[in-house]
Amino acid sequence: MSHHTHIHCNDMKVGEVYACGNCGIELEVIKNCNHEGHDQCCDSCADESADCNFTCCGADMVKK
């Protein structure tokens, strides 16, 4: 798995797989975020204190 990093919806691309290092669940991106930049992403991404992080088992998911 890749190095630990915060994953945002606009970073995820179709076909990529993200996994939980604890339970092993894997999620594949089926459709890209329809916003062009982190600043214009979902409402929670616009607020740096409330990033839209993808977590499982209390930890960030990582790109495989």
Query: What does the pLDDT look like over 17-55, one tens digit per residue?
Result: 999 999 999 999 999 887 665 555 565 555 555 556 788
DSSP tag of 32:
-
- Asked whether the whole model's pTM tops 0.85, one would answer no
- Dist CA 19 CA 40 (whole Å): 26
Instruction: Specify the residue for token string 């996994």.
Output: 19
Q: Does position 1 have pLDDT exceeding 50, yes or no?
A: no
What single-letter DSSP state applies at residue 41?
A: S
